[in-house]
């Protein structure tokens, strides 16, 4: 089958009426499959229990229970932080940037991606908090006049992270919630259950679907999209500053900000594909989250993957071109030193495997895209590992050389982070509309009163 | 009136462009010859700036064509021919490249052609005249090849409207994007970064790319507004202006993001081999140029283009397009000129410099006219044209 360029690609499969759309999206909430839900929660609980045990150990013995030691003082905790913040980039890109670019296909996936963003950022935030060693003193990170007469260091990119990530989280949350208001109202009108009705009424803020409400809503949505757009770029740029403002070879390189942003979108989209591929089957939403939509996501994955590949190449070339010995050594050491295995896993997963998406059949194969998206997730975790560890493990003085390995507690916390993330995702999928009903109906066939069909006038 | 049959008569001429272009080329050419009489080194640097500007316009518009095919956009289909014609500027740019290779290389790249120091010695396997020439030929060869392919399919489609032409161009676009990413980085490093062979920045290719986008969209906007307001683009709504204004705004902000990131990381780390480049652009009067670049290229346009309404006002948008075109000239000037060491008391900017800008603008007009007269001004049988004409905000 080849594309007809003279027609827009349909956003739905088959003919769907507006009420059928509502029914399809509300079904998992109204007629829930509790067995499956409890099974999913059971799996999440196991992950959470592993994370909880590791957390207990950490709080009892301190960060010494991790594998950190001279010269590698940034290990899995930082890797996991960057990994999860990266995952949290797809949601806002889809909801804000693609909205401003009038990409209507985003409407069926925006809600879920936004929810994943929220949970991914929450998961990410736990790691730097734990890494401080005294998470109960986290409020020291906020600049306010205090009785301790202590002030934060405004020149540290770690503090900029506090601002960047908290701003991003706030705006993403507001964006997500504003989008949910009309849908909560729809659910309120549909449900007959008293408690549910009360809860939905509470969260729908008295929404009555009136013209005036919609006008305010549209305006708010547009403004929030405008505000969220620079945040998509700023958060991971500032995360990259954590590394790039330093003097450490392999970290200090000017391409880091856009390279990190491309990588974040790469991994974020991969995670959204991983989860959505499952959700659309389980919730029978294949006609709404269509194969065309997934294909477009795979194209974004491929494009951002190539950008990341460009950055890998450029770093290598400039390391040679710069003539700086330490820089040249670090990159050779990455590819052929003791961590070469991690480097080549990264290259294979991020640069080689996504090339399969050049083929249309692969982009449209649900099974293959699921597998490839998991490879991308693995590859992007290894990218952060390679960047963090390889640049540190051999300091300028050979007396400060070492080999970093994680302990079982590092691994446990990482497993636990998946528990945090997927608990959020499962609860969201059980109790909230996984697709924005209102937004979807706005792009459904026949919803546009001004729409006129071409080709009938002659 | 039917919107479906766009009858654009190809014989309608744009004498304005041809006449004005010829006058500007003549005036600019005389000025440039005069400039070479006065100061050879300085003039070669200005010729490089002018050449880079032409590459920005030509290659940037080639990128926009490929982007449209690749993301299956349709709002820009009615104005794609303008991009196609503008990409023809790559031809005179190739000519200027050959002139510089043949006569100007020792004036421009003497740092790595003539006595190289120990650091440059380590780079001679990349920075040498033979390999440099090969890269220039490969880059221009690739650009002109893809341009020919895109245009061939696009123009052939005007006859029978077969979708296979679109399909082919989509395929070429995917390959072109890979070639483009590498070649524009190589071009930026070769023609600009190597002027100061000690300095290096992994961001540099992206930096030049960002400026290219801003200027290419601005020139496209300017021509679109001019032609549409004169009635040459029947059916194109003013909502298209909004999209063009949006791209100008977005790409300009992207440029600022890249420029700031590059500067911030180098300033913060404060390594002597990197900061030197920015110090050169701060001392001896360059501080004013640097500040002007920040204000003129980013701060003012950002606020002026922010509003949604102004993006649909033709006169204002045309004004902003001219503004950003000059801002890109300023950017290139800021990149290239500090590497030229002036004689005692030489001014930072001379009146004779304007003749290079005049020559560049004249070249764009002449080649636009030349390319335009070869085909319809709109891709009349492009399958996406109808959707593009129906585009509403």
Q: Does ipTM exceed 0.90?
A: yes
- DSSP type of residue B298: I
Instruction: Report whether pLDDT(B2) > 90.
Output: no
Give how far B37 is from chain A: nearest CA, Å: 36
* Cα A92 to Cα A272: distance, rounded to the nearest angstrom: 12
Query: Would you state the pLDDT for residue B13?
Result: 56
Mean pLDDT for all residues in chain A: 90
CB contacts of B383 in chain A (<8 Å) are 4-6
Query: Would you state the pLDDT for residue A442?
Result: 83
CB contacts of B205 in chain A (<8 Å) are 314
Residues whose CB is less than 8 angstroms from the CB of residue A192 and which lie 6 or more positions away in sequence, other chains included: none
Interface probe with A: pick from B202, B207, B246, B385, most Cβ of A within 10 Å? B202
For residue range B29-40, what is the model confidence (pLDDT) as tens digits? Answer: 999 999 888 888
Q: Check B265 against A252: CB less than 8 A apart.
A: yes
A456 lies in a domain?
A: no
| Contact (CB, 8 A) for A67 and A406 | yes
Per the structure block, which two tokens stand in for B13? 């001429």
Residues whose CB is less than 8 angstroms from the CB of residue A212 and which lie 6 or more positions away in sequence, other chains included: none
| Contact (CB, 8 A) for B338 and B281 | yes
**What dihedral do alpha carbons B243, B248, B253, B255 form, nearest 10°?**
130
For residue range B331-343, what is the model confidence (pLDDT) as tens digits? Answer: 999 999 888 866 5
For residue range A385-404, what is the model confidence (pLDDT) as tens digits? Answer: 999 999 999 988 889 899 99
Instruction: Report whether pLDDT(B45) > 80.
Output: yes
Q: Does B203 touch chain A (CB under 8 A)?
A: yes
Interface probe with A: pick from B162, B252, B255, B265, most Cβ of A within 10 Å? B265
* Cα B304 to Cα B327: distance, rounded to the nearest angstrom: 14
* Cα B18 to Cα B366: distance, rounded to the nearest angstrom: 5
Q: Does B27 touch chain A (CB under 8 A)?
A: no
Task: Summarize the confidence of residues A85-108 as an average pLDDT.
Answer: 87
* Cα B1 to Cα A449: distance, rounded to the nearest angstrom: 21
**CA of B171: which chain A residue's CA is closest?**
A358
Q: Check B271 against A306: CB less than 8 A apart.
A: no
Q: Report the CATH number that the domain containing residue A325 is assigned in CATH.
A: 1.20.1630.10
Task: Summarize the confidence of residues A163-167 as an average pLDDT.
Answer: 92
CA angle B115, B118, B120 (to 5 degrees): 65
* Cα B346 to Cα B154: distance, rounded to the nearest angstrom: 49
CB contacts of B392 in chain A (<8 Å) are 450
Share of chain A above pLDDT 90, in %: 62
For residue range B238-268, what is the model confidence (pLDDT) as tens digits? Answer: 889 999 999 999 999 999 999 999 999 999 9
CA angle B146, B152, B155 (to 5 degrees): 135
Query: B231 by DSSP, 3-state: which?
Result: coil
Query: Would you state the pLDDT for residue A458?
Result: 33
CB contacts of B186 in chain A (<8 Å) are none
Q: Check B261 against A450: CB less than 8 A apart.
A: no
* Cα A454 to Cα B4: distance, rounded to the nearest angstrom: 8
Of A121, A146, A237, A314, the closest CA to residue B201 belongs to A314
Residues whose CB is less than 8 angstroms from the CB of residue B152 and which lie 6 or more positions away in sequence, other chains included: none
Beta-bridged to residue A72, according to DSSP, are A69
**CA of A360: which chain B residue's CA is closest?**
B171
Rounded alpha-carbon distances, angstroms, from residue A430 to A35, A279, B167? 12, 11, 43
Nearest-CB residue to B265 (from A254, A318, A458)? A254
Question: How many CB atoms are located within 10 Å of the residue B117 CB?
Answer: 11
A122 lies in a domain?
A: yes
Q: Check B122 against A306: CB less than 8 A apart.
A: no
Question: Domain containing A171: what range?
Answer: 16-448
Q: Check A254 against B166: CB less than 8 A apart.
A: no
Residues whose CB is less than 8 angstroms from the CB of residue A332 and which lie 6 or more positions away in sequence, other chains included: none
Give how far A5 is from chain B: nearest CA, Å: 6
Q: Does A257 touch chain B (CB under 8 A)?
A: yes
Query: Would you state the pLDDT for residue B346?
Result: 57
| Contact (CB, 8 A) for A363 and A369 | yes
Q: Check A255 against B203: CB less than 8 A apart.
A: yes
Query: B105 by DSSP, 3-state: which?
Result: helix
Nearest-CB residue to B269 (from A2, A3, A245)? A245
For residue range B351-391, what is the model confidence (pLDDT) as tens digits? Answer: 788 999 999 999 999 999 888 888 888 888 888 888 888 88
Taking CB atoms and an 8 Å cut-off, how many pairs form between chains A and B?
A: 96
Instruction: Report whether pLDDT(A426) > 60.
Output: yes
* Cα B339 to Cα B342: distance, rounded to the nearest angstrom: 9
For residue range A193-244, what is the model confidence (pLDDT) as tens digits? Answer: 899 899 999 999 989 988 999 999 999 999 999 989 998 899 999 999 999 9
Question: How many CB atoms are located within 10 Å of the residue B69 CB?
Answer: 26
For residue range B158-207, what is the model confidence (pLDDT) as tens digits? Answer: 888 888 999 999 999 999 999 999 999 999 999 999 999 999 999 999 99
Quickly state the pLDDT bin for B11 (edges 50, 70, 90): very low
For residue range B196-230, what is the model confidence (pLDDT) as tens digits? Answer: 999 999 999 999 999 999 999 999 999 999 988 88
Q: Check B202 against A254: CB less than 8 A apart.
A: yes
Query: B134 by DSSP, 3-state: which?
Result: helix
Interface probe with A: pick from B200, B257, B271, most Cβ of A within 10 Å? B200
Query: Would you state the pLDDT for residue A193?
Result: 87
Query: Would you state the pLDDT for residue B283?
Result: 84
Instruction: Report whether pLDDT(A129) > 80.
Output: yes
Q: Does A255 touch chain B (CB under 8 A)?
A: yes
Task: Summarize the confidence of residues A291-320 as an average pLDDT.
Answer: 94
Three-state secondary structure readout of A129-192: HHHCCCHHHHHHHCCCCCCCCCCCCCCCHHHHHHHHHHHHHHHHHHHHHHHHHHHHHHHHHHCC
Can the peptide bond before residue A71 be classed as cis, meaning omega within 30 degrees of 0?
yes
Q: Does A365 touch chain B (CB under 8 A)?
A: no
Three-state secondary structure readout of chain A: CCCCCCCCCCCCCCCCCHHHHHHHHHHHHHCCCHHHHHHHHHHHHHHHHHHHHHHHHHHHHCHHHCCCECCECCCHHHHHHHHHHHHCCHHHHHHHHHHHCCCHHHHHCHHHHHHHHHHHHHHHHHHHHHHCCCHHHHHHHCCCCCCCCCCCCCCCHHHHHHHHHHHHHHHHHHHHHHHHHHHHHHHHHHCCCHHHHHHHHHHHCCCCCCHHHHHHHHHHHHHHHHHHHHHHHHHHHHHHHHHHCCCCCCCCCCCHHHHHHHHHHHHHHHHHHHHHHHHHHHCCCCCCCCHHHHHHHHHHHHHHHHHHHHHHHHHHHHHHHHCCHHHHHHHHHHHHCCCHHHHHHHHHHHHHHHHHHHCHHHHCCHHHHHHHHHHHHHHHHHHHHHHHHHHHCECCCHHHECCCCCCHHHHHHHHHHHHHHHHHHHHHHHHCCCCCHHHHHHCCCCCCCCCCCCCCCC
Quickly state the pLDDT bin for B3 (edges 50, 70, 90): very low
Report the predicted TM-score, pTM, of the whole model to 2 decimal places: 0.93
Share of chain A above pLDDT 70, in %: 97
CB contacts of A247 in chain B (<8 Å) are 269, 271
Query: Would you state the pLDDT for residue A164?
Result: 92
Give how far A264 is from chain B: nearest CA, Å: 17
Q: Check B202 against A311: CB less than 8 A apart.
A: yes
Of B80, B55, B97, B367, the closest CA to residue B215 belongs to B55
Query: Would you state the pLDDT for residue B185?
Result: 96
CB contacts of B264 in chain A (<8 Å) are 241, 245
Task: Summarize the confidence of residues A116-133 as an average pLDDT.
Answer: 93
Instruction: Report whether pLDDT(A448) > 80.
Output: no
CB contacts of A324 in chain B (<8 Å) are 273
Query: Would you state the pLDDT for residue B347?
Result: 59
Per the structure block, which two tokens stand in for A450? 């001004």
* Dihedral pair phi/psi, residue B38, rounded to 5°: -80, -45
Total domains in the fold of chain A: 1
Q: Does B262 touch chain A (CB under 8 A)?
A: yes
Residues whose CB is less than 8 angstroms from the CB of residue A286 and which lie 6 or more positions away in sequence, other chains included: A13, A280
For residue range B103-141, what is the model confidence (pLDDT) as tens digits? Answer: 988 888 888 888 778 888 889 899 999 999 999 999 999
CB contacts of B258 in chain A (<8 Å) are 258
* Cα A319 to Cα A310: distance, rounded to the nearest angstrom: 14
Q: Check A233 against B257: CB less than 8 A apart.
A: yes
* Dihedral pair phi/psi, residue A10, rounded to 5°: -60, 145
Quickly state the pLDDT bin for A454 (edges 50, 70, 90): very low
Query: Would you state the pLDDT for residue B261?
Result: 95
Give how far A54 is from chain B: nearest CA, Å: 37
Q: Does A5 touch chain B (CB under 8 A)?
A: yes
Chain centroid, CA A85 distance in Å: 6
CB contacts of A314 in chain B (<8 Å) are 185, 202, 205
Task: Summarize the confidence of residues A39-57 as an average pLDDT.
Answer: 95
Give how far B278 is from chain A: nearest CA, Å: 14
* Cα B90 to Cα B150: distance, rounded to the nearest angstrom: 14
* Cα A261 to Cα A284: distance, rounded to the nearest angstrom: 33
The b-or-e profile of B230-267 (16+ CB within 10 A means b, else e) is: eebbebbbeebbbbbbbbbbbbbbbbbbbbebbbbbbe
| Contact (CB, 8 A) for B66 and B180 | yes
Which of residues A380 and A17 earns the better pLDDT score? A380
Lowest mean pLDDT among A99-108, A242-251, A298-307, B133-142: A99-108
Instruction: Report whether pLDDT(A121) > 90.
Output: yes
Give how far B276 is from chain A: nearest CA, Å: 14
Query: Would you state the pLDDT for residue B113?
Result: 86
Which of residues A286 and A80 earns the better pLDDT score? A80
Instruction: Report whether pLDDT(B10) > 50.
Output: no
Rounded alpha-carbon distances, angstroms, from residue A302 to A157, A236, A298, B65, B176? 30, 19, 6, 20, 15
Instruction: Report whether pLDDT(B93) > 90.
Output: yes
* Cα B117 to Cα B100: distance, rounded to the nearest angstrom: 24
Instruction: Report whether pLDDT(A457) > 50.
Output: no
């Amino acid at each position: 089958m080849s594309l007809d360029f003279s027609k827009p690609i349909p956003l739905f499969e088959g003919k769907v009426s507006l009420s059928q759309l509502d029914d399809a999206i509300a079904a998992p909430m109204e007629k829930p499959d509790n067995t499956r839900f409890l099974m999913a929660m059971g799996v999440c609980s196991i992950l959470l229990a592993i994370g909880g045990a590791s957390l207990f150990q950490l709080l009892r013995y301190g960060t010494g229970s991790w594998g950190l030691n001279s010269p590698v003082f940034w290990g899995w905790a930082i890797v996991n932080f960057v990994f999860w913040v990266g995952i949290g980039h797809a949601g806002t890109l889809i909801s804000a940037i693609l909205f401003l670019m009038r990409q209507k296909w985003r409407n069926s996936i925006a809600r879920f991606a936004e929810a994943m963003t929220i949970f991914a950022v929450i998961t990410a935030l736990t790691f730097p908090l734990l890494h401080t060693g005294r998470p109960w003193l986290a409020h020291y990170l906020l600049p306010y006049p205090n009785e301790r007469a202590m002030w934060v260091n405004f020149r540290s990119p770690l503090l900029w992270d506090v601002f960047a990530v908290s701003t991003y989280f706030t705006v993403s949350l507001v964006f997500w919630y504003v989008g949910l208001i009309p849908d909560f109202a729809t659910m309120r009108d549909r449900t007959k259950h008293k408690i549910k009705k009360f809860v939905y009424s509470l969260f729908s803020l008295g929404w009555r679907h009136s013209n005036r409400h919609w006008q305010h809503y549209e305006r708010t949505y547009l403004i929030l999209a405008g505000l969220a757009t620079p945040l998509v770029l700023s958060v991971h740029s500032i995360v990259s500053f954590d590394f790039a403002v330093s003097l450490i070879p392999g970290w200090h390189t000017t391409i880091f900000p856009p390279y990190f942003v491309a990588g974040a979108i790469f991994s974020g989209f991969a995670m959204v594909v991983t989860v959505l591929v499952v959700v659309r089957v389980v919730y029978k939403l294949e006609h709404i989250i269509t194969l065309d939509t997934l294909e477009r996501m795979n194209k974004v994955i491929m494009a951002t993957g190539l950008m990341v590949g460009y950055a890998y190449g450029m770093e290598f070339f400039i390391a040679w071109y710069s003539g700086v010995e330490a820089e040249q050594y670090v990159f050779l050491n990455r590819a052929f030193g003791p961590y070469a295995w991690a480097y080549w896993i990264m290259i294979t997963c991020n640069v080689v495997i996504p090339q399969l998406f050049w083929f249309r059949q692969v982009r449209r194969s649900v099974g293959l895209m699921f597998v490839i998206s998991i490879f991308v997730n693995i590859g992007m975790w290894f990218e952060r590992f390679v960047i963090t560890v390889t640049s540190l493990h051999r300091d300028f003085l050979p007396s400060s050389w070492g080999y970093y390995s994680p302990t079982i507690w590092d691994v446990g916390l990482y497993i636990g982070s998946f528990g945090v993330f997927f608990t959020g995702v499962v609860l969201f999928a059980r109790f909230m509309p996984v697709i924005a009903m209102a937004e979807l109906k706005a792009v459904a066939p026949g919803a546009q009163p001004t729409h006129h069909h071409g080709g009938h006038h002659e | 009136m039917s919107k479906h049959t766009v009858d654009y008569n190809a014989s309608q001429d744009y004498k304005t462009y041809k006449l004005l272009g010829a006058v500007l080329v003549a005036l600019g050419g005389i000025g440039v010859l005069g400039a070479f009489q006065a100061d050879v080194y300085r003039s070669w640097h200005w010729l490089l700036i002018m050449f880079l500007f032409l590459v920005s316009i030509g290659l940037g518009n080639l990128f926009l064509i490929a982007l449209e095919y690749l993301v299956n956009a349709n709002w820009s289909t009615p104005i794609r021919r303008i991009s196609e014609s503008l990409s023809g500027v790559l031809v005179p740019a190739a000519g200027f490249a050959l002139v510089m290779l043949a006569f100007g290389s020792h004036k421009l790249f003497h740092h790595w052609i003539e006595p190289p120091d120990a650091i440059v010695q380590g780079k001679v396997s990349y920075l040498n005249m033979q390999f440099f020439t090969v890269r220039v030929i490969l880059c221009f060869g690739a650009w002109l090849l893809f341009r020919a392919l895109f245009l061939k399919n696009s123009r052939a489609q005007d006859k029978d409207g077969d979708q296979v032409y679109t399909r082919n161009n989509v395929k070429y676009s995917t390959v072109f994007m890979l070639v483009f990413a590498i070649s524009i980085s190589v071009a930026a490093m070769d023609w600009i970064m190597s002027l100061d062979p000690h300095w290096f920045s992994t961001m540099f290719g992206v930096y030049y790319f960002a400026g290219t986008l801003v200027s290419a969209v601005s020139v496209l906007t300017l021509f679109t507004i001019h032609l549409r307001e004169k009635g040459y683009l029947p059916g194109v709504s003013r909502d298209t202006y909004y999209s063009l204004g949006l791209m100008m705004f977005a790409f300009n902000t992207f440029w600022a993001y890249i420029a700031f990131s590059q500067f911030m990381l180098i300033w913060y780390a404060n390594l002597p081999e990197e900061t030197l480049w920015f110090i050169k652009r701060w001392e001896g009067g360059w501080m004013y140029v640097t500040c002007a670049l920040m204000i003129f290229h980013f701060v003012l346009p950002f606020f002026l283009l922010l509003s949604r309404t102004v993006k649909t006002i033709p006169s204002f948008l045309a004004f902003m397009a001219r503004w950003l075109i000059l801002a890109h000239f300023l950017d290139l000037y800021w990149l290239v000129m500090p590497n030229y060491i002036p004689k005692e008391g030489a001014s930072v900017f001379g009146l004779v410099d304007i003749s290079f800008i005049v020559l560049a603008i004249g070249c764009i007009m002449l080649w636009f006219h030349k390319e335009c007269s070869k085909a319809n001004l709109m891709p009349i049988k492009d399958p996406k044209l109808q959707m593009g004409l129906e585009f509403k905000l």
